[in-house]
């Protein structure tokens, strides 16, 4: 039994039991993948993959159990490699999966600072849907994930959620808007004017919509957007007010806009850092997490 065979078994499951796709992902041949799995089955004396007419239709019950153990072994093998590279001062890697909000407004400066301090580390940041991020981290497609979360600090499917800073939410409007003269706003205030909002199918949109519903208030929504920048653009044209994260407001570029803190009107949200629960965190990963979540300490996993 070899680590290569375990990697192949894991990749077959990742690729929805498609041998050809697994071979391509592992940069090998379909024949080689099939041969390694057959060798593993012969050595273990059990059937791992259920086949029908030379087609894989699933994992056997024992195959499912063995796959779970294999994933744990491969995670620990990756940790050994990280530890060895760190001890020898060799280059590492950091792949970050995050949402559009954090990619654009939260992570740009920390990402740049870390790249400057650790030029030997291969860094990649890519955007993903929030719902997909835990799975991307669990399946090693990303080393860490950064997303907005609501009241969670737990573990799930092999990943751990570390709570970062509380996300401040603001109502934005033109400086001449009638609500600009009020220091505090209510849900009723927000509903009394056209609202440039998020798509209700998004996490932010559903949370905001739920807050209005719980207050028995129906907002006058005129735009449903997936992007905070779109909301800000429509508000800048005087079409309504928007409810957005405070991080998107640039005091210099958005001097024409007025903002009021409305964090208390909606469920509390925070930045969540997603890591594998058994992952060794090299120094550069710990530093990156502390840049975006200063209160986090390495012993608070």
Which residues, 6 or more positions from 184, have their beta carbon under 8 angstroms from its beta carbon? 260
Six token digits for residue 169: 């939410």
Note the pLDDT of residue 222.
94
Domain 92-301: which CATH number of 3.40.50.300, 3.90.1200.10, 3.40.190.290, 3.90.1150.10: 3.40.190.290
Listed by start position, the domains of the chain span 3-85, 92-301
Class (C level, CATH) for 3-85: mainly alpha
Note the pLDDT of residue 78.
81
Closest CA to 256 of 175, 140, 139, 166: 175
Note the pLDDT of residue 255.
93
Note the pLDDT of residue 279.
80
58 and 98 in contact (C-beta within 8 Å)? no
- Helix 61-87 × helix 3-14 angle, to 10°: 120
Tell me the mean pLDDT per 10 residues along the chain, length 301.
90 90 90 91 91 87 91 82 71 88 91 91 91 88 87 64 88 94 92 92 86 90 91 94 92 92 90 86 89 75 51
Note the pLDDT of residue 153.
47
């Amino acid at each position: 039994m070899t680590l290569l065979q375990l990697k192949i078994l894991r990749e077959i499951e990742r690729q929805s039991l498609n041998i050809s796709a697994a071979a391509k992902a592992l940069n090998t041949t379909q024949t080689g993948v099939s041969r390694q799995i057959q060798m593993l089955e012969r050595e273990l004396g059990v059937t791992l993959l259920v086949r029908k007419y030379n087609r894989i239709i699933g994992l056997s019950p024992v195959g499912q159990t063995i796959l779970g153990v294999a994933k744990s072994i491969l995670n620990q093998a990756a940790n050994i490699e990280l530890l060895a590279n760190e001890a020898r001062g060799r280059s590492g890697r950091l792949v970050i999966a995050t949402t559009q909000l954090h990619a654009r407004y939260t992570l740009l400066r920390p990402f740049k600072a870390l790249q400057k301090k650790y030029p030997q580390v291969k860094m990649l940041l890519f955007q993903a849907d929030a719902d997909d991020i835990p799975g991307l981290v669990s399946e090693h497609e990303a080393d860490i994930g950064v997303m907005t979360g609501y009241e969670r600090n737990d573990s799930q499917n092999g990943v751990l959620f570390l709570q970062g800073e509380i996300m401040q939410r603001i109502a934005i409007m033109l400086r001449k808007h009638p609500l600009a003269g009020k220091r505090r706003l209510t849900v009723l205030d927000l509903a009394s004017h056209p609202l440039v909002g998020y798509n209700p199918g998004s996490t932010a949109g559903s949370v905001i919509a739920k807050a209005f519903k719980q207050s028995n208030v129906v907002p006058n929504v005129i735009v449903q957007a997936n992007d905070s920048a779109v909301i800000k653009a429509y508000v800048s044209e005087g079409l309504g007010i928007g409810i957005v994260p405070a991080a998107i407001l640039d005091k210099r570029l958005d001097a024409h806009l007025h903002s009021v803190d409305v964090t208390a009107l909606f469920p509390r949200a925070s930045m969540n850092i997603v890591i594998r629960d058994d992952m060794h965190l090299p120094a550069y990963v710990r530093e990156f997490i502390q840049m975006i979540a200063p209160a986090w300490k390495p012993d608070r996993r």
